[in-house]
Amino acid sequence: MNKRTSRRSNMDKKEIGYRLFAMVYGMCKIFPRKKNRVFLVMTHDAGPEGNVGVIRNYLNASETDWEFCPLRRKDTNFSGPDKVTQLVRFFIRKPYELATSSYVFQDNVFLPMAFIKFSKNVKVVQLWHGTGTIKKFGQDANEGRLKQLEKMANSTITHLIVNGEKWKSLYSHIFSVKEEKTFVTGMPRTDILFQEEEQEKKVERFYEKYPELIGKKLVLYAPTFRDNELGEQKLHLELEQMLKRLPKEVVIGLRLHPFVADQFQYRGEGGERVKDFSHYDQLNTLLFASKALITDYSSIIFEYVALRKPMYFYAYDLEKFSDEGRGFYEDYSSYVPGQVSKTTDELIAQMIEEQTCEEVKEQWEEKRRKFQEENYAFEDGNSTWRLMKLLKME
């Protein structure tokens, strides 16, 4: 069996599950819908700082008594001694909760919705999990049956939320949603990026948990996951070289994909200056606590730019990723708000240059400022409030 046949067979099996979920949903529509029940698809970020998590916390603090029904990634994992319980929960309880909800918030595409027809008054809100994007995704990246199912699932969306006018047309295309269903309110997870007091509280709690980092300069390395890295036990960034050449107070914080993080362990010199935050569930807090970011093709830059801190782009496989991967919406090297490097030596030199040369520092500060202006319609920390007002949930 070749790879294409294997993928098709796997998709066929998954589609049976999607259809079963939808069938049970249809049966559960005989039950009355609850006006204050909210179904939360949190399969990308189940933490409190993701878009859906922020919505939940906001509603929890309101005077209305909301009831939340979360669906997390772990709810789709049917293994171990509780397999039967997990199957019953996913294929019976979750369809019932969805069928009796008046609001649905998503940070991902939930493919069983390809076969679901919601009642007219149900509001289905796609928030996605990124504030913007560098690389192509959705209808621009998927193919075959997956692309068809995704388009069918997205046809249920009543409100597609974006961060700025720039994204309205593009995201409408990516999700195959009409522009009149796409709304520029700003993303809920960005509110705290403009609330300095809240940031300080989170950083204070961070240092309570990691007191050894007090007085250090945390540089966060958050690379994009590549499919060919599955099970790899190494990083392409030469950490030992970084630690030798950067100031002693610099600590490298790793934010790796779980598939990579579970295999990787740093064994070089200066191990006390390498911290693994791959499973830390509060990404925004890491951004607040860090002094600089190293990434490549991740959408994390759209949040980080609002913090006005240095960013560096270690794109060691730029040509390969562009030609053989998903590809980009813009010319990568001229678009990103930071210097691009392809080797660790080049990256280190750029970091030192920006910290020691005032002209270079000001040049990239200006580039980041313009990048933020292009990607943010609002910088007031009230995006969640605007969304709630739009949905008449305020």
As a whole number of angstroms, the distance between CA 327 and CA 321 comes to 7
Q: What is the mean pLDDT of the chain?
A: 94
Confidence at residue 260, expressed as pLDDT on a 0 to 100 scale: 78
- At 221, the pLDDT band (50, 70, 90 cuts) reads very high
Q: Residues 166, 71: one domain? A: yes
Q: With contact defined as beta carbons under 8 Å apart, do 123 and 102 qualify?
A: yes
pTM: 0.93
Q: How many CB atoms lie within 10 A of CB 355?
A: 15
How much is the pLDDT for 297?
95
Please indicate, yes or no, if residue 147 is contained in any of the structural domains: yes
Predicted confidence at residue 131, as pLDDT, reads 96
250 and 287 part of one domain:
yes
Residues 284 and 153 in one domain: no
Least confident of 78-92, 149-163, 204-218, 334-348: 78-92
Long-range contacts of 205-211 (CB under 8 A, 24+ apart): 205/285, 206/285, 206/286, 206/288, 206/289, 207/289, 210/275
Residue 178: pLDDT over 80: yes
Q: What is the pLDDT of residues 233-264, one digit of tens each?
A: 578 999 999 999 999 999 999 998 777 777 78
Q: Given a cut of 90, is residue 313 above it in pLDDT? A: yes
Q: Is residue 281 predicted with pLDDT exceeding 90?
A: no
The amino acid that residue 146 corresponds to is L
Residues 274 and 364 in one domain: yes
Whether the pLDDT of residue 229 is over 70: the answer is: no
Domain co-membership, 157 together with 278: no
Given a cut of 70, whether residue 6 has pLDDT beyond it is no
pLDDT tens readout for residues 114-147: 999 999 999 999 999 999 999 999 999 999 999 9
Residue 1 lies in a domain: no
Taking the CA atoms of residue 327, residue 330, residue 333 and residue 338 in that order, the dihedral angle to the nearest 10 degrees is: -110
**Residue 231: which residues within 8 A CB-CB, separation 6 or more?**
259, 263
Does a structural domain hold residue 7?
A: no
User: Do both 95 and 119 map to the same domain?
Assistant: yes
Give the mean pLDDT of 323-334: 91
Structural domains counted in the chain? 2
For residue range 186-195, list pLDDT tens digits in order: 999 999 999 9
Do 301 and 327 belong to one domain? yes
- What is the reported pLDDT for 348? 98
| Residue 5: per-residue pLDDT | 57
| Domain span including residue 321 | 194-375
**Domain match, 137 and 45 both:** yes
Question: Is the predicted pLDDT of residue 232 greater than 90, yes or no?
Answer: no
- Judge whether residue 312 has pLDDT over 90: yes
Residue 132 domain flag? yes
Residue 3 lies in a domain: no
pLDDT in tens, 13-54: 899 999 999 999 999 999 999 999 999 999 999 999 999 999
pLDDT for the residue numbered 122: 98
Q: Do 253 and 225 have their domain in common?
A: yes
**DSSP 3-state of 167:** helix
- Residue 2's pLDDT is 53
Adjacency order of strands within the sheet including 250-254 = 274-276, 250-254, 217-222, 292-295, 311-314, 339-341
What pLDDT does residue 129 have? 94
248 and 181 part of one domain: no
Res. 222: pLDDT tops 60: yes
**Residue 323 belongs to some domain of the structure:** yes
Question: Looking at residue 93, which CATH number applies to its domain?
Answer: 3.40.50.11820
CATH of the domain at 212: 3.40.50.12580
Neighbouring-strand partners of residue 42: 72
Same domain, 95 and 157: yes
- Residue 53 pLDDT: 97
For residues 227 and 271, the model is more confident at 271
Same-domain check for residues 279 and 222: yes
In the predicted structure, residue 179 carries a pLDDT above the cut 80: yes
Per-residue model confidence as pLDDT tens digits over 80-107: 889 999 999 999 999 999 999 999 999 9
Let me know if residue 5 belongs to a domain. Answer: no
Instruction: Find, among 299, 340, 298, the residue nearest to 316 by Cα.
Output: 340
Per-residue confidence band for 151, with pLDDT thresholds at 50, 70 and 90: very high
pLDDT of 231 strictly over 70: no
Q: Looking at the domain assignment, is residue 6 inside a domain?
A: no
Query: Hunting for tokens 């980092």 — which residue is that?
Result: 213
